[in-house]
Structure 1
Amino acid sequence: MKNTHLNENKKYNHLLLENKVCVIVGGASLRSIGYATAELFAAHGAKLVLLDLVMNAEIANEVGTAIASQIGHKPDIIYLQCDIRNTSDCDKVIEKAVAHFGTIDCLVNCAGIVKSEGMLSITDEGYDLIMDVNLKGTFNICKSALKIFTEKQAGVIVNLSSLSAQRGGGLVGGSHYAASKGGVISLTRSIAREFAPMNIRANVICPAMIETSMLDGLSEKQLNDVISGIPLKRVGKTIELAGTCLFLASDLSGFITGATIDVNGGIHIH
């Protein structure tokens, strides 16, 4: 059989997301995975829709200025406030994104909250908040994006789960956090299976110990104890997680769907 794979790609281009419209949830903090992903995607030619519960004009200016300083030009971004716990909010921001850019091509959901506490200390309100943001919120924004993806018969979803979902907690976050992130894995696999015939891919990333505000609650001793158990002997950088998002969002991963990708420095080799 003749090898034609080189001809199937019209060209090789270092801009992996040139003119792709990518929705990124959770990018208001410059220390966040969402921000690092936005910066890297912009560097690769993407047009961006940045969603966050706390998004406002001041944060938008800060994020846009930071990205511009890194990539050397003003990024093509719209900034929208969104509470992903609310289905109407999710539908409205996706509609605004389509109205502005004409379509959306990719959704990367980096939003999430964490709280470390023993199971017997978790209140009904605490449980509901974690599940509503991490799992219900992921469901809501995926559903809103899928309405567009099914119409165009194409699209990519990248969801962030956690190592806690794979090993039953043990690092940061209580049992409600681990359960919510376990649900994100199952949800993503379900989306991948249901929507693959429509040329829609969905994959999930399980990070561990990334340099974000989620580590702020750990003492130096606690952090060092965790690092001692990581084969690479360090925590991960947000740009390293963003690189995985870039791979999964781009055509380089065109035959990957329903996958769970570990970004954990080797702490959970399984």
Structure 2
Amino acid sequence: MNSTQRTAVVTGATSDRGIGKAVATRFARDGWGVVVLDLDAGKAKAVAADLSREHGVPSLGHAVDVADEASVDAALQAVRTAVGHDDLPAVGAVANIAGITSPVPFLETTRQLWDQVMAVNATGTYLVTKAFLPDMMDNGWGRIVNMSSVSAQRGGGVFGKVPYSSAKAAILGFTKALARELEDSGVTINAVAPGAVDTNIRVGSTAESEAAITGGIPLGRTATTEEIAAVVSFLASEDASYLTGGTIDINGGSHLH
């Protein structure tokens, strides 16, 4: 696949040690045009420029608050303008990577925390998918990849607790239900469920807690962001044409079912 064919939209794609940036980089390396969406417009534009310079692909960086419908719509319009007037190919994939976690025990949570975690993870996935899906359906081809977590499958037990596990479980249900509705549209939708990954998201973790997490992984280590990106890349490829409504586990054997 080369950059003249399709564009991948990636949310949450500016953190240096984040899964989103690794996914955006993998798409660029594979020859896709890339749209980098994140809260910080300057960072999004800088990452997009780096991808164009390093991989020779068209790119666009734009600010977005995935939990805000007006912000998502503004990003959609910017992408449509770029596709129509610049050298950015039509959107062929959406990777919903943006997310936040929380290690707060249930009885210490607040309604504000619950709403925030649900909004960024679950509502954000809903809003971004709903925005970009119609154009992919009109083109008769598309790939949606959603970021869930092993925490959704085993009820926490890694780092994020009840709000995070609930939001990530909602993404699994969303993915399955939408896969049924999409039927023969040419658009597939799948989720990935990573276990512990070497990112900055586990704020507040300690050496002891990290050792405990690693000790429960048969492969004896956390995943790299590039390993997650490789699976996302596959799900967005032509080769994954018969996969939809599924969840790909990337947990090093820490959760077997």
Counterpart CA distance in 2 for 1:267 and 1:134 is 23
Is 2:222 aligned against 1:240?
A: no
Contact 1:64 / 1:75 at 8 angstroms: preserved in 2? no
Count of aligned positions: 252
TM-aligned CA distance change 1:16 to 1:179, over 3 Å: farther
TM superposition shift of 1:73: 4.0
Q: Within 5 Å, which residues of 2 pair with 1:108-187?
A: 108-187=95-174
Counterpart CA distance in 2 for 1:73 and 1:139 is 30
Query: Counterpart of 1:202?
Result: 189
Is 2:99 aligned against 1:91?
A: no
Counterpart CA distance in 1 for 2:128 and 2:177 is 15
Counterpart CA distance in 1 for 2:74 and 2:45 is 19
Counterpart CA distance in 2 for 1:135 and 1:60 is 25
Contact 1:53 / 1:81 at 8 angstroms: preserved in 2? yes
Counterpart CA distance in 1 for 2:148 and 2:2 is 24
Counterpart CA distance in 2 for 1:259 and 1:241 is 16
Counterpart CA distance in 1 for 2:197 and 2:228 is 8
TM superposition shift of 1:243: 0.0
Percent of matched pairs sharing the same residue: 31
Post-superposition Cα deviations, 1:93-132, rounded to whole Å, max 9, x if no partner, equal 1222122124211100100000111111111111111111
Is 2:45 aligned against 1:60?
A: yes
3-state SS, counterpart of residue 177 of structure 2: helix
3-state SS, counterpart of residue 61 of structure 2: strand
Post-superposition Cα deviations, 1:4-57, rounded to whole Å, max 9, x if no partner, equal xxxxxxxxxxx477631110001111211111111111011100111001231x
3-state SS, counterpart of residue 189 of structure 2: strand
3-state SS, counterpart of residue 203 of structure 1: strand
Query: Counterpart of 1:224?
Result: 211
Post-superposition Cα deviations, 1:169-228, rounded to whole Å, max 9, x if no partner, equal 111112011000000000011111101221110000000111111134211111111111
TM superposition shift of 1:137: 0.9
Contact 1:28 / 1:55 at 8 angstroms: preserved in 2? no
- Normalising by structure 2, we get a TM-score of 0.93
TM superposition shift of 1:168: 0.5
Tell me which structure has the larger Cα radius of gyration: 1
Query: Counterpart of 1:19?
Result: 5
Query: Counterpart of 1:3?
Result: none
> Which stretches of structure 1, 4 residues or more, deviate above 4 A after TM superposition?
15-18
TM-aligned CA distance change 1:150 to 1:235, over 3 Å: same
TM-aligned CA distance change 1:213 to 1:20, over 3 Å: same
Note the residue ranges of structure 2 that are not aligned, 5 or more in a row.
85-89
TM superposition shift of 1:59: 5.2
3-state SS, counterpart of residue 268 of structure 1: coil
3-state SS, counterpart of residue 122 of structure 2: helix
TM superposition shift of 1:74: 4.1
- Normalising by structure 1, we get a TM-score of 0.88
